[in-house]
Structure 1
C-alpha cells in the first residue's frame, strides 16, 4: 500500500497546527517592551549619534 500521499498532507496540516499554536502564545505580536527591542533601540540611537558626528566631520 502506497502511503506517500500522507507525506503530502502532513506538511500543510502541521503548518495549520503550528499557526494555531503560535497564535495562542502571542508569537505573532511584537512588543516594544521586550529587553531585546530596548537594546536594539539603544544601539540604533547610538548609531544615529555616530552618523551625525561623522556628517559634521565630513563638512569640516
Structure 2
C-alpha cells in the first residue's frame, strides 16, 4: 500500500493549526493596550495644552480690558 499521499495531506493539515495560533498570538491584547495607553497619553497632553491656552487667553483678555 502506498502511503505517500499521506505526506501530501499532512503538510496542509499541520498548517491549519499553525496559522490559527500565529493569528491568535498576533491579535492578542497587547497591541490594543498599547494603542489605548498611547491614546490616553495623547489625550492628557491635549488637555494640558488646552488648559495652558485657556490661561493665556484669559491673560490676554485681562490686558485688553
Which band: TM-score by shorter chain?
0.3 to 0.5
The one of the two structures with greater contact order (alpha-carbon pairs below 8 A, sep at least 6) is: 1
More helix by share: 2
The alignment's TM-score, normalised by the length of structure 1, stands at: 0.45
The alignment's TM-score, normalised by the length of structure 2, stands at: 0.42
